[in-house]
């Protein structure tokens, strides 16, 4: 049987997907200012998952500067979809708006300056895909609304579930009959942090 590559982290670091100048600029800003964006590997994963599922209505919790939302907006372009993204920091939301204009996706993204915890219970329209990227201890609090808002067969992706603060979320979703879920612990170059887990969950 073939063995695993030598120095797998160095090896996979060389396979980071290419990005345009705007995304590289957002990565540099995030590193300088300590903004925990998903980075190009999880960004590309979000693109692939949203495009493969032909998601038309995407909800993101936690916009920051808009890096992951740009991947999602580009992924749903073929389906003529939209991304609704919630951010509770108004300065971040303003930066994201500016970045959406530069990326040419502002007509596809609605940014709401609001706490996901307050706004989610009021949302009524359903979504095909939800990306969860707020404070990790809040994941479990928004989970019932995520299930209510996702269509049957819709996909929930939760970032950073390797954090201790996501423990209650991890235990809840893995035992809930309303979800089929897996947690993938991975090496994720340029993610913050690079060793972390992601949860992928199908709404039953």
Per CB under 6 A, does 10 bind ligand SAM? no
Tokens 């947690």 correspond to 183
From 89, 101, 148, 193, residue interacting with ligand SAM (rule: CB under 6 A): 89
Q: Tell whether residue 92 is a contact of ligand SAM (CB under 6 A).
A: yes
Only segment of 8-16, 63-71, 144-152, 165-173 that touches ligand SAM (CB under 6 A): 63-71
Residue 39: count other Cβ atoms within 10 Å of its Cβ: 22
CA distances from 109 to 38, 123, 183, 195 (A): 18, 16, 28, 30
Please tell me the distance from the alpha carbon of residue 13 to that of residue 169, in angstroms, as a whole number. 29
The stretch among 83-91, 97-105, 122-130, 169-177 that binds ligand SAM (CB under 6 A) is: 83-91
Question: Nearest-CB residue to ligand SAM?
Answer: 62
Residue whose tokens read 């990227």:
133
CA 137 vs. chain centroid, Å, equals: 16
The one among 138, 150, 156, 179 contacting ligand SAM by CB under 6 A: 138
Q: Give contact residues for ligand SAM (rule: CB under 6 A).
A: 36-38, 62, 64, 67-68, 86-89, 92, 115-117, 133-135, 138
């Amino acid at each position: 049987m073939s063995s695993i590559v030598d120095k797998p982290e160095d090896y996979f670091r060389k396979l980071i997907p290419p990005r345009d100048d705007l995304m590289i600029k957002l990565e540099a800003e995030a590193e300088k200012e300590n903004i925990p964006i998903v980075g190009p590997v999880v960004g590309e994963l979000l693109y692939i998952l949203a495009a493969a599922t032909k998601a038309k209505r995407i909800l993101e919790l936690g916009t920051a500067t808009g890096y992951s939302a740009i991947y999602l907006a580009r992924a749903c372009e073929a389906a003529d979809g939209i991304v609704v993204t919630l951010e509770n920091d108004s300065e971040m939301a303003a930066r994201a708006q500016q970045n959406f204009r530069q990326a040419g996706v502002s007509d596809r993204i609605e940014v709401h300056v609001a706490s996901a915890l307050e706004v989610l219970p009021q949302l009524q329209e359903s979504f095909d895909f939800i990306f969860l990227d707020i404070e990790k201890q809040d994941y479990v609090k928004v989970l019932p609304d995520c299930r209510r808002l996702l269509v049957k067969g819709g996909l929930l992706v939760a970032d950073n579930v390797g954090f201790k603060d996501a423990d209650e979320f991890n235990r809840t979703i893995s035992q809930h009959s309303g979800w089929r879920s897996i947690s993938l612990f991975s090496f994720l170059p340029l993610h913050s942090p690079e060793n972390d887990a992601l949860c992928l969950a199908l709404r039953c």
